[in-house]
C-alpha cells in the first residue's frame, strides 16, 4: 500500500520519519539520514520525553520527576527504540548520511551535498537563503508556541554537561556494550575507553 502511494506521487515530496528505514521499489525515491552523537541523542530525548504529553508519547510524571542522569539511565535500560533506529538509519546504505554536527559546522556545504543527492540543481544564493531561514534560533522562536517544543539547545556535545562517571560507565556497558560500539562505529570516539573531558559533579 505504501509503495503504491509513493509510486502515485507526482512532483517532489518530503517525508520525515522516525520509523525504521524501508526500501521500496520506487526508482525516484531518495533517502537522507541525519545522525547525531548517541550520547547527545539520549540527553535530548531525556528532556523531550519528560516534557511531551503522555498521550503523544511522553513518559509521564514519574520520568519527569527523575534527574537528567536518571532519565538517561532509564533510556539506556528501556529506550531500545532509540538505539534500534539510530543503528538502522546509520547503516542504511540507500541513504546519504548527514551528521548533525556537520550541519552545525558547515550548513551550506552539507545542504548542497544533500540537494545534489536528491538530484536538485539550485544556486548558492538559494542554499544560503534556505540556511538563513532555518537557523536554530529562528526555528526555536517559532517553536515556542507549541505545547512540547522540539527545539531546546541545538548544540553538540551537551552530553558533557550531564554525564558523570557513573553515567559514562552505564553507557559503556548498556545492552552488552552495543551503545558504545555504535558510538565507535559512527566515529564519535576512537577508543572504547573514552572519558568525559569536562565531567559533571
The 10s digit of each residue's pLDDT in 23-42 is 888 888 899 999 999 999 99
CATH of 27-185, one of 3.40.190.10, 3.20.20.70, 3.40.50.720, 3.40.50.300: 3.40.50.300
Identify the pLDDT of residue 147.
Answer: 45
Q: Read off the pLDDT band of 8 (50, 70, 90).
A: confident
Q: Are 103 and 110 in contact (CB under 8 A)?
A: yes
Percentage above 70 pLDDT, the chain = 89
Residue 53 has pLDDT above 90, yes or no: no
Grid cell locating 110 = 552539507
Query: Cα-Cα-Cα-Cα dihedral of 48, 53, 56, 62, to 10°?
Result: 80
Identify the pLDDT of residue 144.
Answer: 54
Residue 141 has pLDDT above 70, yes or no: no
The 10s digit of each residue's pLDDT in 62-81 is 888 899 999 999 999 987 88
Residue 167 has pLDDT above 80, yes or no: yes
Residue 168 has pLDDT above 50, yes or no: yes
The 10s digit of each residue's pLDDT in 77-95 is 987 889 999 999 999 999 9
Residue 201 has pLDDT above 50, yes or no: yes
Identify the pLDDT of residue 148.
Answer: 47
Q: Read off the pLDDT band of 21 (50, 70, 90).
A: confident
The DSSP annotation for the chain comes to: -HHHHHHH--S-------SPP---S-TT--EEEEE--HHHHHHHHHHHHHHS-GGGT--HHHHHTS-HHHHHHHHHHH-HHHHHHHHHHHT-TTEEEEEHHHHHH-HHHHHHHHHHHTT----HHHHHHHHHHT-HHHHHHHHTTSSS-S-S---S-GGGGT--HHHHHHHHHGGGGHHHHHHHHTTS-SSTT---SS---
Amino acid at each position: 500500500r505504501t509503495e503504491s502511494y509513493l509510486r502515485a506521487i507526482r512532483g517532489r515530496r518530503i517525508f520525515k520519519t522516525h520509523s525504521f528505514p524501508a526500501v521500496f521499489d520506487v526508482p525516484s525515491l531518495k533517502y537522507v539520514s541525519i545522525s547525531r552523537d548517541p550520547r547527545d541523542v539520549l540527553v535530548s530525548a531525556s528532556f523531550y520525553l519528560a516534557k511531551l504529553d503522555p498521550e503523544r508519547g511522553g513518559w509521564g510524571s514519574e520520568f519527569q520527576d527523575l534527574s537528567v542522569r536518571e532519565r538517561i539511565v532509564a533510556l539506556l535500560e528501556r529506550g531500545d527504540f532509540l538505539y534500534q533506529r539510530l543503528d538502522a538509519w546509520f547503516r542504511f546504505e540507500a541513504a546519504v548520511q548527514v551528521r548533525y554536527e556537520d550541519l552545525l559546522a558547515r550548513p551550506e556545504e552539507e545542504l548542497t551535498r544533500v540537494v545534489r543527492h536528491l538530484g536538485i540543481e539550485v544556486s548558492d544564493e538559494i542554499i544560503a537563503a534556505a540556511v538563513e531561514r532555518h537557523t536554530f534560533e529562528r526555528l526555536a522562536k517559532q517553536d515556542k508556541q507549541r505545547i512540547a517544543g522540539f527545539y531546546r539547545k541545538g548544540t553538540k556535545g551537551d552530553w558533557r554537561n550531564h554525564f558523570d562517571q557513573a553515567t559514562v560507565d552505564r553507557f559503556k556497558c548498556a545492552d552488552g556494550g552495543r551503545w558504545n560500539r555504535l558510538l565507535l562505529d559512527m566515529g564519535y570516539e576512537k577508543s572504547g575507553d573514552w572519558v568525559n573531558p569536562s565531567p559533571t559533579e
